[in-house]
Amino acid sequence: MIGGDEWWVLLIKIVVVVLGLVTIAAYLTLAERKVSARIQLRIGPNRVGPYGMLQPAADAVKMLFKENTAPSNRDRLLFLVGPSLAAGAALLSFAFIPLGINNWFNYQFHWDVGHANVGLLFILGVSSYGVYALFLGGWAANSKYSLLGGLRASAQLISYEMAVAFALIGAVIIAGSLDLEQIVHAQQGAWFIVLQPLAFLLYFTGAFAETNRAPFDLPEAETELVAGYHTEYSSLRFGLYFLGEYVNMVVVSSIATTLFLGGWLPIFPFHPFDWIPGPLWFLGKVAVLIFVMMWVRWTFPRLRYDRLMSFGWKVLLPLGLVNILITGTVVALRA
């Protein structure tokens, strides 16, 4: 027994989660290209396989056989650490996210790799490692574009990390727990997006900055910084940064689903909605959020960097603190 599972159950879970996340991330790149194509009245990738369905596989194979070029005066160790850390931190932060609970023949099956009473803190902590990945990778390359991209990325990520944490506290106050499964159970009456609309809005806005996506994609603003922190990366090292970015999209959408959209709970708690299994509800909600993120990216122009930073510090942060105070007061007085 490891945690709550037999060792072979845990092994299957881990393999499914790692391969599943990588596959989902690969197909999100295709989805992104298809969505952007639709928005810009193009067709998008449609040559490799039916509807371009094999495009991600073709991209992966191509990247695998490309040369690893790198500037010769780089910091050799940190240059290698950057991409691995970016993908690793993103994958690891998915470990505690619960996709559902099933009871089969008196055996309680949890759809997650592990569960702990401070699951939310663990996710916040591990995803912070992504900052190191972007900054170390950008600094190690010894290229001006990379350095500027890395600097911008780290300043942006740490600024919005607080805004995001403060937004999540609103939901934690109502649930009274940091255990992600208990937070979902607490939403059986009403999803927290109903009780905490402001917190959801703050979190989701901050999530765009946390995943470096437009309109907050300043770290890799191609018109000024070429490709930002991964300018000097090629082959699958670049692929790992890309993978980390898309896995991060899945992670932030999963956190938003767990804390605000009722996790694996169906929209209405009666037939026929509860015939659909919980994990499918969860993935469906995540898919909707990811689609919104893509939709926003291809709709809004990029912000200026000073506006981005002042938006985080002067709007999201104070609003988050005020939200915590109001929520805490209401909950404490009603207890």
- By the rule CB under 8 A, 5 interacts with other proteins: yes
- Using CA atoms, how far residue 120 sits from 133, 206, 226, 309, 311, in Å, is 21, 16, 35, 25, 25
Q: Give least dist CB 111 to other proteins, A.
A: 13
Q: Which of residues 34, 115, 230, 297 is near other proteins by CB under 8 A?
A: 115
* H and E: helices and strands count for the chain: 14, 2
Q: Which of residues 18, 37, 198, 292 is near other proteins by CB under 8 A?
A: 18
Nearest Cα to Cα of residue 130 among 215, 219, 231:
219
Per-residue binding letters, 122-161, with other proteins (x by CB under 8 A): x----------------x-xxxxxxxx--x--xx--xx-x
Nearest Cα to Cα of residue 85 among 25, 135, 139, 157:
135
Q: Give least dist CB 322 to other proteins, A.
A: 8
Q: Give least dist CB 266 to other proteins, A.
A: 27
d(CA 226, CA 219): 10
- All residues at 6 or more sequence positions from 66 whose CB lies less than 8 Å from its CB, including other chains: 234, 235, 236
Q: Give least dist CB 92 to other proteins, A.
A: 5
Name which of residues 159 to 218 contact other proteins (CB under 8 A).
159, 161-162, 165-166, 169, 172-173, 176-178
Q: Give least dist CB 240 to other proteins, A.
A: 6
Task: Return the SS3 of 2.
Answer: strand
Cβ distance to other proteins smaller for residue 160 or 208: 160
Q: Give least dist CB 327 to other proteins, A.
A: 8
Cβ distance to other proteins smaller for residue 32 or 161: 161
Size of the site for other proteins (CB under 8 A): 87
- By the rule CB under 8 A, 220 interacts with other proteins: no
- By the rule CB under 8 A, 276 interacts with other proteins: no
- By the rule CB under 8 A, 23 interacts with other proteins: no
Q: What is the 3-state secondary structure (H, E, C) of 98-111?
A: CCCEEEECCEEEEC
- Using CA atoms, how far residue 168 sits from 196, 244, 265, in Å, is 10, 22, 19
Name which of residues 69 to 88 contact other proteins (CB under 8 A).
69, 71-73, 80, 83-85, 87-88
117 with 62: CB under 8 angstroms? no
d(CA 82, CA 61): 22
